[in-house]
Chain A
Amino acid sequence: MNYHSKLKSAVAALAIAVPLGFTGMAHAQDAVNLRMTIWSANEAHLKLFNEIAAGFSKDHPNVKVTYESLPFDTYTTALTTQIAGGNAPDMAWIFETAAYDFVNSGALFPLSDTLKATKDYNAEELSATAAERWTKDGKLYAYPFSTSPFAMFVNNDVIKAAGAKTPAEMIAAGQWTWENALATASAVGQTPGKGGLIVRDFNYQVWQNLASVWNGWGASPWSADGKTCTMTEKPMVDALTTIHNAIFKKKAIPGPGENVDFFAGNAAMTITQISRASLLPKEKPFAWDLVPLPKGPAGEYALIGQAGIGVMQAGKNAKTAAEFVAYMTNPENSAKLSQFFPSARKSLLNAEVLKKTNPLLTQEQIDKVVIGGIATGKVIPGHTGFAQIQQAVRSGLDAVWRPDADIAGSLQKICGQINPLLKR
């Protein structure tokens, strides 16, 4: 092949390859891969999420959505490490405790405009109280897809075996108070090998879950504006004194370092979110019940946990990701999601829908615990810089979880530690 033939061949090859190359590039530019970090690895959850992703891909064939399950215990740490490493996901689930950090930092892409622009989205029906923590300057920064009330699961078998009154009996007699609940827990807790009442996931570390108890005293770790520690005030001292007595004097609550599992049938009662009904044993079942939290000295109350979905501002495809969040949380998909994650959409907060999605619960339980809880419940405490405040309080409360504790003195020290953090 002479020089000219070679040149001709090369030009011809280029003439074919270049347009092909550009076509490939154009296709690659259009393809959008979205990644959402989540803390669930539940197969049923993932199946539903993948169905929703497939539904979105029908209208957006160039978009592929994947879910990355991160461990629950270290979720926020793993997420921020990904962000720090320049590998932020496009979308992320966010705990209610970390909501202020994410919303206030500017890490999230505002969703309001996209949600409003989505056909038939009906954004107005999202309960304003549920959206409060996820909103800044009138804009929603993460969608609270799960609003799950805390309630009391009860094992009537062990309570009756201990000769104590069951919560249902106490509710019927109008005596469902913390004092009586702890008396029943104490009767079971003093039986060898059994535990009384377990505040699930508290484990003497996740103290914010104790809000499910101390809210009954009207106690709060800090003021409504979040600027001042209120742990030294009477409601908190009284509530923690009651909890302390229940642990160390009445054996109504398993002590630090004692492991008792309610769902294995070893405890009288546990406070947790209703979604944990899936943990109830199918083999060797026990007679269980689900009741609202007992009345405290400050009256009746409810507590809710939340989870939000946010779109990361740092992502390359933030707008498409916001469109996916709008699709995932539209009325139709919200109804599907509510079988696992109670929705804050008013149209889905009725007994008929909730009965379908929570087949284990009776109509009465749904009315009292779920609808009542979501309507009136306060959200678990949260704050900007929560991880640091959580650690300081956890460390300070270790002094309370001793038989000879000086409760008021320990709370004084905690306030000394966290007041500067609250004011930041």
Chain B
Amino acid sequence: MAVAQDHATPEGRSSSPFWTIARRDSLAGFLFIAPQLIGIITFVLIPLGLVFWYSLHEWNVLANTFTYTGAQNYQMLMEDTNLLEVLGATAIFSAGLVVLNMSLALLLAVLLNQKLAGITIFRTLFFSPVVVSLVAWTIVWGFLLQKNGGINGVLLLVGIEGPNWLREETTAMISVIVVQVFKNVGLNMILFLAALQGVPNELYEAARIDGAPRFKQFRRITLPLISPTILLTSIITIVGSLQVFAQIAVLTQGGPGMSTTVLVYYLYQQAFQFHLFGYGSTLSIVLFVIVAVLTFAQWQMRKRIVFYES
């Protein structure tokens, strides 16, 4: 109130001042969020709007033509014979990645949540791939996965003739998933580790006194109490899995056949290799809708799977 009174006119006019406390507060609030808001508007909302606008056009970069075609690109989407295969590869990749990444991350977190000498060395080791350059990591794995590469060399030492990892449909998809899991499992592991360390010890003590076995303690105490972190990591991992690009570009270029052509790689091909920027934008809209629906669905599911929220 004092601030408002300072702005009262000397003549004592009864009209209320423009800068009321509420207005000042909201201005301060807007100023605080302005950097983030400007960033989101510039780098998310405007490009999103533009992508939708482009999806309604045929944009021939070489001929420098930009023609409004209405829903033609969306019709092309419906008639695209490759799309089902691409969506299938995307689903297999995402499902494989999420299941493997989450379970491995949880397993590692549980194993590393011990008070043992030197345990931090192991935590650092498992986390270190997260900070390695993604492309460098993938290129090295590309060499290891060659037919005459390091992995088959090791297998040969124990008398096994390894497959041609990146040239067969099943093993190519498995390879791409595993390379991605090893790269990022450390991040989820650290999040799980933090959550595990937040579980009060008394609960385990009480359970032990009641005679609950270790697995039951894990299922009844640990899992419910770390469920918010499970939700968070699952959203991050699923969204991340839908955005995979560099690994595919470096390791398989979408092959063999179309077996590892996931949606992001497919839209990159359409826009940047085939110069079909309009159709590429249409595929971006599809990706946006898929990510939005999945995130919304997971958020809705939190009532069922998250047992408490702070």
Contact = CB atoms under 8 A, between A and B. Distances in A.
B63 A81 contact: no
B75 interface: no
A80 B146 contact: no
Contacts of B272: 77, 80-81
Interface stretch (B103-111, B253-261, B290-298): B253-261
B257 A398 contact: yes
A6 B256 CA distance: 79
Interface residues of A, number: 30
B30 to A, nearest CB: 32
Interface string A357-390: 0000000000000000000000000000101100
A107 B64 contact: yes
B274 A387 contact: yes
A394 B255 contact: yes
B273 A259 contact: no
Given A205-B253, A257-B165, A259-B146, A105 B269 contact: no
Contacts of A77: 272-273
Nearest to A102: B62
Contacts of A224: none
Contact of A84 (B61, B147, B165, B253): B61
B277 interface: yes
Contact of A257 (B164, B254, B257): B164
Interface string A83-118: 110000000000000000110011100000000000
B123 interface: no
A80 B164 contact: no
B197 interface: no
B167 A256 contact: yes
Contacts of A255: 147, 164
Interface in A239-272: 255-259
Nearest to A314: B64
Contacts of A121: none
A313 B275 contact: no
A252 B84 CA distance: 38
Contacts of A278: none
Contacts of A105: 60, 62-63
Contacts of B190: none
A83 B167 contact: no
Given A84-B277, A256-B147, A257-B146, A395 B257 contact: yes
B147 A83 contact: no
B9 interface: no
A323 B62 CA distance: 22
B262 interface: no
Contact of B63 (A106, A258, A391): A106
Given A257-B147, A395-B255, A387 B273 contact: yes
Contact of B274 (A81, A107, A385, A399): A385
A43 to B, nearest CB: 25
B306 to A, nearest CB: 43
Interface of A: 76-77, 80-81, 83-84, 101-102, 105-107, 204-205, 255-259, 313-314, 385, 387-388, 391, 394-396, 398-399, 401
Question: Closest 4 CB pairs between A and B?
Answer: A257-B147, A105-B62, A398-B256, A107-B62
Given A256-B147, A391-B274, A395-B258, 5 more contacts: A105-B60, A256-B164, A258-B147, A388-B273, A396-B257
